[in-house]
Amino acid sequence: MKLLILSVLCIFVVNAKIEHVKEKASETHANPKKVEVKDAPEHKVSREKFMEDLRFRRVQHADAIRGLKIVSDDKINGFLDDVVKNIQKILNEHRDIIGRITIIEKSQIPDEEKNQDSLLKVLENAAFFADLSLAYPKYFEKILKKNLKLKTLIVWAYHYSTKTELFDEATSKQVMKMAQKYGIIEKSKKEQEKDDLEKKSEEKIKKRKEEKEKQRKPEKKQPKGEL
């Protein structure tokens, strides 16, 4: 079962390697004839494929989150540690590549396949991080305070990915919720009220537990003869 869940969680990483091999193969067999941009339909097709790939990755992310739900509490942190390390590694690698090109225009993708691949990796991992961090807030609150390099990377990934405007509406909302929750952007009034209610609820639960613990503890009886 553990191997099955890990395989689901790492699908997007494996797919990245497979696609890289496919791209190299296509470059080797490509037609060397150059065509003017106005006569070439390839850019439109490549954008459609790009968006299709991104949608497919989002489906994989949802499957991964569902897979994590069956992991026991004592093992979940180990799974999350591995996934977060992968996300951090991928974002670091592709930030360096994207950093060499100018920010793309809104809702457009780069012409070069290498840059398209890097953009896809940044978008999918920013979105996947949002999914995970909202599903397991207690873990991510600790890890983001402890790992400042990761926090800086996520701040960059959020701002870069949202500027592209390539996320669908559902993913955009999810990523924005993540950014608000972890202090990347200011919380909306609605989110702040929601957080306040959650804190009050947690405080009530904590008080109830403390009261129950007090009731369980027997009172110490003073031995006879002692004042």
Number of domain units in the chain: 1
Q: Domain of 118? A: 2-21+42-190
Which pLDDT does position 13 carry in this prediction? 43
- Evaluate whether residue 126 is within a structural domain: yes
- Evaluate whether residue 217 is within a structural domain: no
- Evaluate whether residue 223 is within a structural domain: no
Which pLDDT does position 225 carry in this prediction? 58
59 against 201, higher pLDDT: 59
CA distance 124 to 64: 13
Model-level pTM? Answer: 0.69
Which pLDDT does position 222 carry in this prediction? 58
Least confident of 62-71, 163-172, 182-191: 182-191
- Evaluate whether residue 205 is within a structural domain: no
Least confident of 63-67, 81-85, 160-164, 208-212: 208-212
What would the pLDDT profile of 132-158 be if each residue is shown by its tens digit?
999 999 999 999 999 999 999 999 999
- Evaluate whether residue 26 is within a structural domain: no
189 against 86, higher pLDDT: 86
Which pLDDT does position 12 carry in this prediction? 45
Q: For 84-113, give the DSSP string.
A: HHHHHHHHHHHHHHHTTSPPPPTT---SSH
- Torsion sign, CA atoms 104, 108, 112, 115: positive
- Evaluate whether residue 37 is within a structural domain: no
Which pLDDT does position 24 carry in this prediction? 40
Mean pLDDT of the chain: 78
Which pLDDT does position 220 carry in this prediction? 58
What would the pLDDT profile of 10-48 be if each residue is shown by its tens digit?
444 434 433 443 444 344 334 434 334 344 444 454 788
Judged by DSSP in three states, 225 sits in coil
